[in-house]
Chains A and B, each alone.
Chain A
């Protein structure tokens, strides 16, 4: 479908392999945030078409890919903005309530950690970040977050909005935003603790 772009002799940067890899990464990125395969495909398609129409003049593929992802992020934000008008992001699902209850069980009545729940030292983070299996776990933990919680978190951390902008875009109060981000971060930390950092879970 991008025949004319693939053959465009003005852009030797872009070939079939580059497009395939870029597209795959874009779909993964979009799917994680939109949680809908066909929406992800659509938004990636739109972003690629927009990007490739103006892809001249890049010094290298890295710069080009960053720019393409910038377009993708804008498209994702547009879609989230539209959806925010019809969904109540601050509504609590049972999954969110479960996360909150689990978090509460980590503390004694005086709100200090129970001995078993006291956060442990995760050692050298670089070592985890270098391992592909860590990223598989990280991916799985992100997918495991409740939808609305994940949406707020990803706008903050992946689309790199400032927190007040996230609240404004999704029409939620700042304090609600804080509660949701706290829930997301704790949910992810516990998921990583359980599935990656727990002793004996992985051989390295």
Chain B
């Protein structure tokens, strides 16, 4: 079973590369029973969305 700390690393790497099937299975097993890590995953997704929006807002023509 992965620890929460290991899960934070995998979730971060999941934003940078395709996780292996084995990694995904382990991750999902952990997330199924760990509310804190599920929130962590949502927070990571939120961060990526905020970055995307940040760049888009800067580039938007103001008209």
Asked whether, in the complex, the Cβ of A189 is within 8 Å of the Cβ of B44, the reply is: yes
Which among A29, A110, A125 has the greatest number of chain B C-beta atoms within 10 A? A125
The bracket for how many chain A residues form the interface is 35 or more
Q: Does A129 contact B (CB under 8 A)?
A: yes
A69 close to B46 (CB less than 8 A): no
Evaluate whether A107 and B4 lie within 8 angstroms (CB atoms) in the complex, with A65-B60, A185-B12 already known. Answer: yes
What residues of B have a CB within 8 angstroms of the CB of A63 in the complex?
A: 61
Inter-chain contacts of B51 with A (CB < 8 A) = 157-158
Per-residue CB proximity of B1-21 to A under 8 Å, as 1/0?
A: 001111011001101110000
Q: Which residues of A contact B9 (CB under 8 A)?
A: 178, 182
Q: CB-CB < 8 A to A46: which residues of B?
A: none
B16 to A185, Cβ gap below 8 A?
Answer: no
Contact A138 B61 (CB under 8 A): no
Which residue of A has the minimal Cβ distance to B43? A189
Measured CB to CB, the residues of B under 8 A from A are 3-6, 8-9, 12-13, 15-17, 35-37, 39-40, 42-44, 46-55, 57-63
- A interface residues, Cβ below 8 angstroms from B: 18, 21, 25-26, 28-29, 60-66, 69, 107, 110-113, 118-122, 125, 129, 135, 138, 156-158, 160, 162-163, 177-178, 181-182, 185-186, 188-189, 192-193
